[in-house]
Amino acid sequence: MPTPAGVPVRPGKVIAVHVAYESRSAQRGKRPSQPSYFLKATSSLAASGEAIERPAGTSLLAFEGEIAIVIGTAAHRVSAKDAWTYVEGVTASNDFGLYDIKAPDKGSNLRSKSRDGYTPLGPNIIPAAEADPQSLRIRTWVNGQVRQDDGTSAAQLIFPLTRIIADLSQHMTLESGDVILTGTPAGSSVVAPGDSVEVEVTTSSANTGSELSSGRLVTNVVEGPGDFDEDLGSMPAVDESLQIDAWGSREAAGLAPESSDDQIGDDATAGPLSDELRAKLIEAPTAGLSAQLRARGLNNVVIEGVSPLQPGSKVVGTAKTLRFVPNREDLFKSHGGGYNAQKQAFDSLQSGEVVVIEARGEPGSGTLGDVLALRAEAQGATGVITDGGVRDSAEVAGILPVFATGRNPAVLGRKHVPWESDVAVACGNATVLPGDVIVGDDDGVIVIPRGLVAEVVEAALAKEIEDGWVAEQVAAGNPIESLFPPKGQWRDKFEAWKASQ
């Protein structure tokens, strides 16, 4: 099959790296000690603007935006130091894979990744002579939204690009035109017919300092025929592990959280609040809710030290947790850049959730700014609670309710490393589990265990009615003895009044 028109090279072979990015390694929970590879058929090449088919009856077509190295001069047994001199340039690529047919190939990825059109490449090549291999940037958009953003610095790549070239060259001759797909950063996920995926590689020219770009590699997903013949080979099949790999996480795949002895009750991570329950929680003040929790033996449910950026704010929702650890320079290099845990958490928000950030009560840098606040609003989140600082505080206050310890213009790298999400966190000296109910107003923020929320809010609203009646009696000049709370004849009067309403 000839190389499609518009593909910038005609490679003899296409070699792909399994895992090369620190962010991808962290997402997958395993870090390779040495690079490993697989081959893609050259018949899978496609040009920018072409469509990719997801066969009917399948569901796990995943994109992987990648930097493609194009070999310029035959390389055999070259050193990492000299490897870049054998490169013609770099361009954008997308290492698509159909996870529905991945399992039978046991790591070779032959059928899942070598289907026609599954290796878009281009549209332009950035000359290697003008590109520093440690200063490239790769971005992927799905339907206009950034899903991957990473680079090739020593802190971002497990295996430098020059090492990959040198390693491959000690096993085979890399010929002019050969293409190496250098692995994908975190953020790879599933796309469906109707989606459009764009990938771009950029860098600053080593000669002029101006930005160089591969141009955007555009691929449109369409539905294709699904006429697999079971008499010829394995049929599409999906299991939970394939869903998690394709989507990037259990949560993104829509799977229930794994059972854990650490969860409290069956309701620990229940679904969204009903509209009726949410309306009641919005009406109930945190003071009344706190009193009802205390009556049930829960005294340590207040997130201490936080206040609303905008007085009068009210926040109600289920907790989406995010944890920062104290800054350590080597850990920030490996976990702070690219599509880190913070960005992943905000990208995976569900409607009705509240981001709860553990920042150890450290206000010395911002834990979010206006861009993340806008992302939270777009995802349908109802607010953010952080026991750290907030950047762009005036803008953030106008976007959605945010409760914080203070304002600070500094970025994460000054005090924090974004570490993990969807775990138990300690925010403002309160333990918060994913799915806990969060309520905040001018008095502060409280945490309500999911299994108690219905009875607690009913009791709090009933007490509000009683306290309102008591306040009217006190305002009329009556002493508070036996009235607050009502006892004896005052109790009788209150019950009679309530019955008349």
Residue 346 · residue 372 · CB < 8 Å = yes
Rg (CA), the chain: 28
Q: What is the C-alpha separation between 60 and 278, in angstroms, rounded? A: 35
According to the annotation, is 372 in a ligand binding site?
Answer: yes
Task: Please tell me what DSSP assigns to residue 401.
Answer: -
DSSP secondary structure of 307-331: EESSTT--EEEEEEEEEEEE--HHH
Distances 219 to 4, 59, 97, 438 between C-alpha atoms, Å: 14, 17, 13, 41
According to the annotation, is 392 in a ligand binding site?
Answer: yes
- How many CA atoms lie within 13 Å of 103's alpha carbon, on the beta-carbon side? 13
Distant-in-sequence, close-in-space partners of 36: CB < 8 Å, separation ≥ 6: 17, 18, 19
Q: 479, 459, 466, 113: which is closest to 298 by C-alpha?
A: 459
According to the annotation, is 371 in a ligand binding site?
Answer: yes
User: Cα dihedral angle (105, 108, 110, 112), rounded to 10 degrees?
Assistant: 70
According to the annotation, is 370 in a ligand binding site?
Answer: yes
Q: What is the C-alpha separation between 121 and 3, in angstroms, rounded? A: 11
* Annotation: binding site: 369-372, 391-392
Q: Which residue ranges make up the annotated binding site for substrate?
A: 369-372, 391
Residues in binding site for Mg(2+): 392
